Amino acid sequence: MQKTKKKLQDAAIKHVDEFYESYNNKKEQQLKQVREEAEKFLKERDEFFNQENTTTWDRALQLINVDDADIVGGRDRSKFKEILLKLKGNANAPGA
Protein backbone atom coordinates (compact mmCIF):
# COMPACT_ATOMS: atom_id res chain seq x y z
CA MET A 1 0.00 0.00 0.00
CA GLN A 2 2.76 2.46 0.95
CA LYS A 3 4.75 1.49 -2.15
CA THR A 4 1.81 2.21 -4.43
CA LYS A 5 1.11 5.51 -2.69
CA LYS A 6 4.77 6.53 -3.00
CA LYS A 7 4.81 5.61 -6.72
CA LEU A 8 1.65 7.63 -7.30
CA GLN A 9 3.11 10.64 -5.48
CA ASP A 10 6.36 10.42 -7.44
CA ALA A 11 4.44 10.21 -10.73
CA ALA A 12 2.31 13.20 -9.73
CA ILE A 13 5.38 15.26 -8.82
CA LYS A 14 7.01 14.30 -12.13
CA HIS A 15 3.92 15.35 -14.11
CA VAL A 16 3.64 18.66 -12.26
CA ASP A 17 7.33 19.39 -12.87
CA GLU A 18 6.94 18.56 -16.57
CA PHE A 19 3.87 20.78 -16.79
CA TYR A 20 5.67 23.78 -15.29
CA GLU A 21 8.77 23.19 -17.39
CA SER A 22 6.64 23.09 -20.55
CA TYR A 23 4.63 26.12 -19.41
CA ASN A 24 7.75 28.17 -18.69
CA ASN A 25 9.33 27.20 -22.03
CA LYS A 26 6.19 28.25 -23.94
CA LYS A 27 5.95 31.46 -21.93
CA GLU A 28 9.60 32.32 -22.60
CA GLN A 29 9.18 31.56 -26.32
CA GLN A 30 6.06 33.73 -26.51
CA LEU A 31 7.78 36.63 -24.72
CA LYS A 32 10.70 36.38 -27.14
CA GLN A 33 8.33 36.44 -30.12
CA VAL A 34 6.44 39.47 -28.77
CA ARG A 35 9.73 41.32 -28.17
CA GLU A 36 10.86 40.59 -31.73
CA GLU A 37 7.53 41.73 -33.18
CA ALA A 38 7.63 44.92 -31.09
CA GLU A 39 11.18 45.69 -32.24
CA LYS A 40 10.18 45.09 -35.87
CA PHE A 41 7.12 47.34 -35.50
CA LEU A 42 9.12 50.15 -33.88
CA LYS A 43 11.81 49.90 -36.55
CA GLU A 44 9.24 50.09 -39.36
CA ARG A 45 7.45 52.97 -37.64
CA ASP A 46 10.68 54.94 -37.22
CA GLU A 47 11.68 54.28 -40.84
CA PHE A 48 8.24 55.46 -41.96
CA PHE A 49 8.43 58.73 -40.04
CA ASN A 50 12.08 59.38 -40.88
CA GLN A 51 11.72 59.15 -44.65
CA GLU A 52 13.72 61.84 -46.37
CA ASN A 53 12.18 64.27 -48.84
CA THR A 54 8.61 63.46 -47.80
CA THR A 55 5.94 65.62 -46.22
CA THR A 56 3.25 64.63 -43.76
CA TRP A 57 0.83 64.48 -46.66
CA ASP A 58 3.10 62.17 -48.65
CA ARG A 59 3.18 59.77 -45.72
CA ALA A 60 -0.60 60.04 -45.27
CA LEU A 61 -1.03 59.03 -48.91
CA GLN A 62 1.17 55.99 -48.29
CA LEU A 63 -1.24 54.84 -45.58
CA ILE A 64 -4.39 54.95 -47.68
CA ASN A 65 -5.31 52.99 -50.77
CA VAL A 66 -5.85 55.62 -53.45
CA ASP A 67 -7.31 53.00 -55.80
CA ASP A 68 -9.93 52.01 -53.24
CA ALA A 69 -13.60 52.74 -53.86
CA ASP A 70 -14.59 56.40 -53.67
CA ILE A 71 -17.84 55.70 -51.89
CA VAL A 72 -17.67 53.61 -48.76
CA GLY A 73 -20.57 53.21 -46.38
CA GLY A 74 -22.53 55.84 -48.26
CA ARG A 75 -19.76 58.43 -47.78
CA ASP A 76 -17.96 60.01 -50.71
CA ARG A 77 -14.18 59.99 -50.19
CA SER A 78 -13.14 61.18 -53.62
CA LYS A 79 -12.73 64.84 -52.55
CA PHE A 80 -10.49 63.83 -49.64
CA LYS A 81 -8.28 61.77 -51.97
CA GLU A 82 -8.16 64.64 -54.43
CA ILE A 83 -6.99 67.05 -51.72
CA LEU A 84 -4.30 64.64 -50.54
CA LEU A 85 -3.05 64.16 -54.08
CA LYS A 86 -2.82 67.94 -54.53
CA LEU A 87 -0.83 68.25 -51.28
CA LYS A 88 1.58 65.49 -52.26
CA GLY A 89 5.14 66.76 -52.54
CA ASN A 90 4.21 70.33 -51.56
CA ALA A 91 6.63 71.25 -48.76
CA ASN A 92 4.86 74.62 -48.34
CA ALA A 93 1.44 73.08 -47.65
CA PRO A 94 0.01 73.63 -44.17
CA GLY A 95 0.98 70.86 -41.79
CA ALA A 96 3.67 69.52 -44.12
- Element (H or E) spanning 60, and its range? helix 56-63
Distance (Å, rounded) from C-alpha 63 to C-alpha 7?
A: 63
Domain locations in the chain as residue ranges: 1-50, 53-96
pLDDT tens by residue, the chain, 96 residues: 889 999 999 999 999 999 999 999 999 999 999 999 999 999 999 999 888 888 888 888 888 877 776 776 777 778 888 888 888 877 777 766
pTM (two decimals): 0.61
Across the chain, where does the E strand assignment appear? 71-72, 75-76
Q: How many other CB atoms sit within 10 Å of the CB of residue 3?
A: 7
